[in-house]
Structure 1
Amino acid sequence: MPGKKPPRAVVGDRDERVNPARRFDQALRRSIHAKLCRFHPRELDPHQLRHAAVVLALVSADDSAEACVLLTERPTTLNRHAGQFALPGGRVDAGELDEDAALRELAEELGIRVDHGAILGRLDDFPTRSGFRIRPFVLWLEDASGLRPDPAEVAACYRVPLAELESPDIPILRRTSHGEHPVLSAHLPSVGHEIFAPTAALLYQFREVALAGRDTRVSHFEQPRFAWT
């Protein structure tokens, strides 16, 4: 009939459009775990920088079986890195293991508590201009229904589809006057913003290592000046 609206898509319809290789299922979990097991992450000197740990947390999309990575936006009220996009994580406390810090920060920021069995592997250490050595862990969150962002630490939480990370437009590289290497960034439509290193660099390495099985290194990429503080 003229003027009749098309029926609303249901979850099953959206599931049919998901790349089978990027569905949030055990086949994907095994594939990512196997690639991370073959990868040899580079470690930085633990005595030169303060320690931080972050998580690349894999979850299902809200409205389909598509696999996604969680990304947060920091409140503008924070003293450091205010308003910036980040992976869940933070400083490693004295005497704390890096992986314990990563899981603790995930619980504090997003309300999700998991044990070490959720860790699939890790990526290269990344040195930041703000004086930290970031150690990234890849996690599989089978059940993210308990996701409850802490408004004091998280202004917004996004689920970035893996297919989005595999765009040929990623990475974006720009020359800069303050470093030998280019600044790495990535435009993420699901977020509606361009994301910069170090977060963008870690997302790019995750794509290269965990999804494509390539030993791509990213710790040499520069960060924009606004990310230094």
Structure 2
Amino acid sequence: MYLNATLRQLIAERLGRFDQRSLSAPDSRRAAVALALVEEGTGAMLPGIDAPTTWSRSAAVLLTRRSELLRHHPGQWALPGGSIDDNESPERAALRELHEEVGLSLEESAILGRLDDFVTRSGFAITPVVVWAGEARELEPSACEVASIHRIPVSEFMRADAPLLDSIEDSEQPVLRMPVGRTWIAAPTAAFMYQFREVCIAGRATRVAHFEQPIFARQ
């Protein structure tokens, strides 16, 4: 799957038809994340994923490993994102966080649409914003927030063994995980990736806000 004009149009059209659900969540802090589509480039060295030896135009998603120095969710997989400032839209917040966390500056024309809000156990109501980032060759991780930046091929999220659903004692809903290489990503990030796969690539209107998070992701 290549990052080209055809893919961009397809995703924009599917997001345009998608009945995106926003949640009021008055007791939660508003936040936004950027699901940025980029070229795979030279890849990310992850267990079970072969990195291309030359620059690849295959479609990928930018993911980060959060710094171990952060107070909340240190070391976890994440999409670039953070709290929404006063009078700021989720779209503007997502673009701002992309610049602050990975050094990627995009115009509002890069925005393709939104996926469903997700309320976390840690007190955030998160709006995922899908953006088109192109080559994104010059990335720079924020020293205080990001340990590493990874370009995960979209094909990884289309695997037949995804998603992984695990029962949990304190909820009737399962925990959702998405396998990547020989590791995995937990909800809420995994929920955003699964809904992106279903809505934007497979063309299926799938909801994810009901899925649970593992215990370690609730702090």
TM-score by length of 2: 0.92
Structure 1 residue matching 2:9: 3-state secondary structure:
helix
Segments ≥4 residues shifted beyond 6 Å: none
Alignment-mate amino acid for residue 148 of structure 1:
E
- Equivalent of 2:155 in 148, 151, 163: 163
Q: Does 1:57 align with 2:36?
A: yes
Q: CA deviation at 1:38?
A: 0.8
- Equivalent of 1:75 in 60, 67, 90: 67
- Equivalent of 1:148 in 122, 129, 140: 140
Larger gyration radius, structure 1 or structure 2: 1
What corresponds to 1:35 in structure 2?
14
What corresponds to 1:177 in structure 2?
169
Question: CA separation in 1, counterparts of 2:99 and 2:4?
Answer: 23
Question: CA separation in 2, counterparts of 1:211 and 1:136?
Answer: 16
Question: CA separation in 1, counterparts of 2:78 and 2:25?
Answer: 22
Q: CA deviation at 1:109?
A: 0.2
CA contact (8 A) 2:36 2:132 kept: yes
What corresponds to 1:204 in structure 2?
194
Q: CA deviation at 1:96?
A: 1.7
Q: Does 1:222 align with 2:209?
A: no
Task: Return 5+ residue gaps in structure 1 as ranges.
Answer: 1-21
* Cα deviations by residue, 1:78-135 (Å, 9 ceiling, x for unpaired): 1101111000000111222211111110000011111110000110000100011000
Question: CA separation in 2, counterparts of 1:143 and 1:195?
Answer: 24
Structure 2 residue matching 1:121: 3-state secondary structure:
strand
Question: CA separation in 2, counterparts of 1:193 and 1:73?
Answer: 13
Question: CA separation in 1, counterparts of 2:212 and 2:152?
Answer: 23
Q: CA deviation at 1:27?
A: 0.7
Q: Does 1:23 align with 2:2?
A: yes
What corresponds to 2:48 in structure 1?
none
How many residues are treated as equivalent by the alignment? 206
Higher RCO (CA 8 Å, separation ≥ 6 residues): 2
Q: Which deviates more from structure 2 when the two are superposed, residues 37-46 or residues 123-132?
A: 37-46
Alignment-mate amino acid for residue 177 of structure 1:
E
Indicate the RMSD between aligned Cα atoms, in angstroms.
1.0
Q: CA deviation at 1:187?
A: 1.3
Question: CA separation in 1, counterparts of 2:88 and 2:17?
Answer: 26
Question: CA separation in 2, counterparts of 1:70 and 1:221?
Answer: 22
TM-score by length of 1: 0.88
Q: Does 1:104 align with 2:96?
A: yes
Question: CA separation in 1, counterparts of 2:127 and 2:215?
Answer: 21
What corresponds to 2:23 in structure 1?
44
Residue identity (%): 50
Q: CA deviation at 1:46?
A: 4.8
Alignment-mate amino acid for residue 193 of structure 2:
L
CA contact (8 A) 2:25 2:119 kept: no
Structure 1 or 2: larger strand share? 2
What corresponds to 2:52 in structure 1?
none
Q: CA deviation at 1:75?
A: 1.0
